A and B are shown apart, each in its own frame.
Chain A
Amino acid sequence: MIEIKELKKIYGHGKNKVVALDGIDLNIKPGEIFGIIGLSGAGKSTLIRCLNMLEKPTKGKVIIDGFDLTSLSGDQLRSVRRRIGMIFQHFNLLWSRTVADNIAFPLEIAGEKDKGKIEARVNELLDLVDLSDKANAYPAQLSGGQKQRVGIARALANNPKVLLCDEATSALDPQTTGSILELLANINKKLGITMVIITHEMAVIKAICDKVAVIEDGKIVESGPVFDLFTNPHTKTARRFISTINSTELPDVILERQKISRGHSKLIRISFIGSSAGEPIISDMIQKFNIKANILYGNIDHIKNNIFGTLTVQLIGADSNTSQALTYLEGLGLKVEVINVE
């Protein structure tokens, strides 16, 4: 649905030159919710703005639904843009129009003249975003979450195939963020719209995205299914984003305790995915290798019904026995790390 090829964007020239995007390649499938995460200044906004040509790329191609946007201009570009919805961090609603008239705005832009048709479509959308009671309110009278609902309804008015979201929840509190993400997920399921979600919050990616790309200094450093990123991150940046919501760091007290009782014990971290989470691995291991296991720390999480987690265990027993235990765990397909406490 969206194909990005060797996309480059350079701002300014000479001494003020900023390479905001440095060769981006991405392929987003129809119906996918694709997240792009990165720190501030990484180039996220530039990337999403290049998707509807709000920013003209310096080089490369952006192909959406078969149209190469980089080759279009004037009326052709405008007509393609009408089929790409966009929502913004600061909502960007028209202050002078009521909620209903804000939602009617893109219909007017697309040249719809029939008042009855506009009204019917607006009512449908108000219902979809659950704002029917606010039809005649002005944006200034709405909360942030309600404003974003209007933004979403407005973006969907012309039945777009793609919805671009630039930090759509970054100005909202966590609870409101949750309800907006839920709404977006429902819309994706109901209407099958492809969504591109830009964010600096891992929680947003985890909550609704199918796939994710990590952007750093204008480059994609890692991308793939969200579940893979969480269970097997390759880059330091990805790990740091994950640690913002799933702490795998051991508390200091536990490390101190381990230092004291070192002698014949090992501290290990077991990462598990999916079904093995339900099996009695630890108790089997204890029986088989005649060791003691002291469970120190653990967490379990899920992304769209896939379970994953880590368990930090202190193994106490003869070195040969604990080593065999490690081999046994690895043999079961678990990822095992020995934690060095020094």
Chain B
Amino acid sequence: MLSSAITQYLTTQGLQILVATGQTLQMVFLSVIFSYIFGLPLGIILVTTSPGHILENKTFNQILGAIINAARSLPFIILLVVIIPFTRFLVGSSIGTLAATVPLTVSAIPFVARMVETSLKEVEWGIIEAALAMGATPWQIISKVLLPESLSSLILGATITTITLIGYSAMAGFVGGGGIGDLAMRYGFYRYQLNILLACVVILIVMVQVIQMLGEKLASLVNKK
């Protein structure tokens, strides 16, 4: 009797943790993917339109830089609320895991753009110049030089982005996004169930460690320098 009660208790708890973990992974991976779909081209544009680069355009570059900085300076918690109408328009609801993906993505886009910019800037100018001397078009330089040459650095950037988004996803509870962070807040903080809090923290730590490890492994695998 007692043992079955405990088992039942544990399974409900376990199930909740399992569901929350799934929600976190879903939010994080969707927002990483979407933020790169937009952030990667922005980062490429930031670099290639910078002074002296292959598509130099000073005014455009400065305006884009200013917009990205402005977007980055907006606190996430405010973005979360401000963006609600847009979220509702996009996913049909402003509540839920999918809805939480929208502010996560939007806040990550300028971050990703700057990460990508930093990685692409590491490519030696001499290599780009060699390609120019061969008669490469700007698109060929982007696709055959900039991206492959900075792949390792881009992967490390994506690793940092992913881990940062795990942290941000904890705040998704405000829009009913669920997830590990939300669970930890609800049970651990408001109801003072330390075991759940502990379990959540352990899961988050493991998640971060695994992603960091995989990212570094993959980055060094593609690094031929």
Contact = CB atoms under 8 A, between A and B. Distances in A.
Interface string A80-97: 111010101010111111
Contacts of A108: 140, 144
Categorize the interface residue count of chain B.
20 to 34
A253 interface: no
A52 interface: yes
B68 interface: no
Contacts of B134: 81-82, 86, 105-106, 109-110, 158
A140 B131 contact: no
Interface in A56-78: 77-78
A90 B127 CA distance: 9
B127 A92 contact: yes
Nearest to A82: B135
Interface in B109-159: 124, 126-127, 129-137, 140, 144-145, 148-149, 151
Contacts of B137: 78
B144 A92 contact: no
B144 A109 contact: yes
B134 to A, nearest CB: 5
A97 B126 contact: no
Given A81-B135, A105-B144, A109-B144, A96 B130 contact: no
A138 B222 CA distance: 12
A54 B149 contact: no
B224 interface: yes
A95 B225 contact: yes
A90 B125 CA distance: 11
Contacts of A158: 134
B87 to A, nearest CB: 39
Contacts of B144: 105, 108-109
B64 to A, nearest CB: 24
A79 B129 contact: no
B224 A96 contact: yes
Contacts of B140: 108-109
Interface in A296-323: none
Contacts of B133: 52, 54, 81, 84, 86, 164
Contacts of B126: 88, 90, 92
User: Chain B interface mostly helix, strand, loop or mixed?
Assistant: helix
A110 B145 CA distance: 15
B130 A79 contact: no
A86 B134 CA distance: 8
Most interface-central of B124, B130, B132, B222 (chain A CB within 10 A): B130
Nearest to A96: B148
A95 B127 CA distance: 9
Contact of A92 (B124, B151, B222, B224): B124
A209 B131 CA distance: 27
B132 A109 contact: no
A94 B127 contact: yes
A211 B41 CA distance: 49
A88 B130 contact: yes
B148 A94 contact: yes
B59 to A, nearest CB: 20
A109 B149 contact: no
A109 B135 contact: yes
Interface of B: 124, 126-127, 129-137, 140, 144-145, 148-149, 151, 222, 224-225
Interface of A: 52, 54, 77-82, 84, 86, 88, 90, 92-97, 105-106, 108-110, 138-140, 158, 164
5 contacts: A78-B136, A92-B127, A92-B130, A105-B144, A164-B133
Given A54-B133, A81-B134, 16 more contacts: A52-B133, A78-B136, A80-B135, A81-B132, A81-B135, A86-B134, A90-B126, A92-B124, A92-B130, A94-B127, A94-B145, A96-B149, A96-B225, A106-B134, A108-B144, A110-B134
- Shortest 10 CB-CB contacts between residues of A and residues of B: A81-B135, A78-B135, A92-B130, A82-B135, A92-B126, A138-B224, A95-B225, A86-B133, A106-B134, A96-B148
